[in-house]
Chains A and B, each alone.
Chain A
Amino acid sequence: MKKIVSIVIAISTGILVIAALIFRPQFNPLLSLILRWGITIGSMAALVGIAVLIKTHLQRIAVGKRGFFFSLIVLFGFSVSFLGGMLLGVANPAYQLWISSIQLPLEISFLGLLTLILTTTGFRLYRLKGWTPLSISFGISAVVFLIIAMGYLQGLGNPTLDRVIEFIQRLPIAGGRGILIGMALGALVVGIRVLIGVERPYGE
């Protein structure tokens, strides 16, 4: 019974959204209501996720599990951020400094780490694969685009070279277009499967 109810709700909601997009002026209030419900449910899901996270770290601290010190740090950072935002407001300069001082170095570090990983992976690619047509073409294209991205060649002021660079930079458009078409077709197929009840991402 639960299974049928969830399927009926999912299919009817999907049909309503599509109808609202097609018959826009008439169905706008209904679509707006559904979207607000979705935002509310999504926010509640985020709160549930935060609660589970806190519970897990509290259990680690209570049991004294190995690495519980990091759980203490997580809970301390979360408490300060949450209470600071609630009490001071998100527009407070002190609160913004607090958040930016934590988040900015973390994200930049992650991006730097990602760059190093990609670089070393590209370096090891040739150790693993050797000289194959795929690896050679990948390496040459990567080097060419990296050099172009540095901007040295554009600074030379050579019109012919600029046209060549422009042509090279437009080459990835073909790949990007193919990716976009693939994504659109995939989304279309998944949407149809959800509408007819074959695909059930909401569970049984």
Chain B
Amino acid sequence: MSDDVLICPHCGEENLASATRCLHCGLPLEEAFAIDGLKDISSSLTGDFVKAEEESLPDLFRDLHEEADLQKKAAKIEALSSIESTTNKAEEDASEELEAEDTIPEWLKKIRQRAQVEDDSSGDLIKKVNARDEIPQPSEQSQVDNEFEDWLRQIRLNARRDSIQPLVEEPTIPGLDEETPSWLQKLREIKETENEPEPELKPQTEETLPEWVEEEQEHLASSDSSLSKGHPEHTQPLQLAPEVTQMPGESIGLGETGAEKIEIGKDQTKEGEALEKIIGQVGFPTGTEGKAFLEAFEQERPETADLLLLRSQRDRAKDLKDMVENEGKAGVLPKQQKAPRNKFFQLVLYLLVLSVIALPLFSGAIDTKINGTMQPVSLAFFDSVSQLTAQESVLIVIDYQPGSSAEMAAIFQPVLDHLTRQAVKKSFITTYPEGVWLTSQLIGQEESLTETGTTYLPGAKIGLMNLSLDTSAALSPGLVSSDLFGSQYDLDYDSIILLTDSFNGGKNWLELVGPFISADKSLLMVASTQEAAMFLPYFDSAQLDGLLAGLNESALYNNALGKSSSISINRSYQAGLLIMAACFVIGIITSIGVKERPESQEDVP
């Protein structure tokens, strides 16, 4: 055994002085480190050798040995029993322990038995501390062995690196300085090594390489190629994304690098077979066993911290690149697939709506005689008007917008006829500026009406309050008929008929003017159908003496006067209501099976 070279005792080949395993035959070189005069410990650790050696020990050593064992007996009975089954020495200890148990008094045995069943009296904190202390620490011998193994592994790696380094020139990287981060250096190294053609290095190093290094390189190359080629039968072309870069230590996969499109065909299959032969000669498993071994190696290989770090940086760089590229671009949302609609059903729906609209238009003005009896509120209205005599005066309040003037005029028309029949004196007042000409339209429908003038009451709600307090002061002098508003604090009339299309307008009159009306005078109201429900409570509480709401009640009122009602507006009004009802019904039918949407998805109409 020389200082530079170590001769393998198995094959006789030369190895590095620091090598612990032969590079040629693979067998350990530990025999080279054997010290002359010492027996093989590994081969003599079992059997009767230990017993014989112990018997040959001096009495002093034996006593010391027994004393150390006695100290451990009390705490590790179970451990010693397990050791007993493995070594002869442990059997002796167990026998001694049994002998010692025989000598133990009965009370101590009971205490020990109870201690095995019950927990000790130590607290949790002490238990934790004890548990930490009881963690099995590696023995000094194993620590020394591990450190020795690490030391040998490091020496082996250094020797291999030193042997290859002078042969393979390290590529010079421009711009690589100390400030360059380590991860970037690694990336550049990988890039350079990928770009460098491998065959160019081989002729330069071929002559200077020793034989064992060449074999080692071939072995590595064969293993790399088998790794890179992968499954020979895999013939599908693979396309990798350009931005995907290979990390060091990462599996190359199926042999492609960068953005190349590699097709593995029959030529590669032949090369794979040749490589498999070489691998088999080296002693590496081939065929299905080799594939299984490689797959297991890929799965079980631990990923280093550098690899994880580089992979994370690669992913983040890719995300950053995507963000930069997509900056300022409009986001493309995935198109929502619309549910297929039934065309036939839509057609039926449209035809139904059109028929609902067209039917009243083409049906002509067919008179529909309204039969039945009036509601109590309408009857009360009729009775109040019927009680008016020829010399009494009535104040008619025009409190509706021009948009609803047609409906209001149609509803009020029978009442106007009734008032004319009763020959009462009619006066008009309005709270809207438009009421002046609306009154003119209303009066114009009745030729026999004796016009007494129209009064505009400004101030809306405040004007109504003022009217109830001081009639002459509330109204403009030029518009006030002196014979109508004679009293200062009381409206000089026998009845007030309010025509309104809004709840607020009627409420103001009922609540602001109504309390100042004497009990012997009536407050009547003509309203639209939709507002009737809000005024009925006032009738129930006797704040309102009568209510005529809607065209139907108006027709019944006309019937009560001995006339028939058939007006065109009634038909169009019915048509509108029919359309609305049809839409509701169609909406209900077509929404069968529609589930309620969450609040966030609701469309705001």
Contacts and interface: CB of A to CB of B under 8 A. Distances in A.
Interface in B563-605: 570, 574, 576-581, 583-588, 590-597, 602-603, 605
Per CB-CB distance, the 9 closest pairs between chain A and chain B, nearest first, are A107-B403, A126-B591, A172-B533, A96-B437, A123-B587, A157-B371, A39-B459, A130-B594, A146-B581
Interface residues of A, number: 65
B468 to A, nearest CB: 10
A35 B462 contact: yes
Contact of A149 (B370, B404, B529): B529
Contact of B402 (A43, A104, A172): A104
Interface string B433-473: 11011001100000000000010101110110110011001
Contact of A128 (B375, B433, B602): B602
Contacts of B580: 115, 118-119, 122, 142, 146
Given A35-B462, A39-B458, 6 more contacts: A32-B470, A100-B434, A100-B441, A120-B583, A122-B587, A123-B587
Contacts of B118: none
A126 B437 contact: no
Interface string B535-564: 111001000000000111001100000000
B372 A155 contact: yes
Contacts of B284: none
B494 to A, nearest CB: 23
Given A104-B405, A115-B576, A146-B581, A28 B587 contact: no
Interface of B: 368-373, 375, 401-406, 433-434, 436-437, 440-441, 454, 456, 458-460, 462-463, 465-466, 469-470, 473, 489, 529, 532-537, 540, 550-552, 555-556, 570, 574, 576-581, 583-588, 590-597, 602-603, 605
B463 A39 contact: yes
Contact of B583 (A119, A136, A170, A177): A119
Interface in A120-134: 120-132
Q: Label chain A's interface by main secondary structure.
A: helix
Contacts of B537: 173, 176-177, 180
A151 B552 contact: yes
26 contacts: A28-B470, A32-B469, A35-B462, A35-B469, A39-B458, A39-B462, A91-B436, A96-B436, A99-B437, A111-B403, A119-B579, A121-B605, A123-B583, A126-B588, A128-B603, A130-B595, A142-B584, A143-B585, A147-B581, A149-B550, A150-B577, A151-B370, A151-B551, A152-B574, A172-B536, A180-B537
B462 A42 contact: yes
A139 B221 CA distance: 81
B141 to A, nearest CB: 78
A198 B591 CA distance: 49
A162 B581 contact: no
A154 B577 contact: no
Most chain B CB neighbours (cut-off 10 Å) among A36, A93, A150: A150
A127 B584 CA distance: 11
Contact of B536 (A35, A115, A173): A173
Contacts of B436: 90-91, 96
B534 A180 contact: yes
Contact of B587 (A127, A146, A150, A177): A127
B546 to A, nearest CB: 16
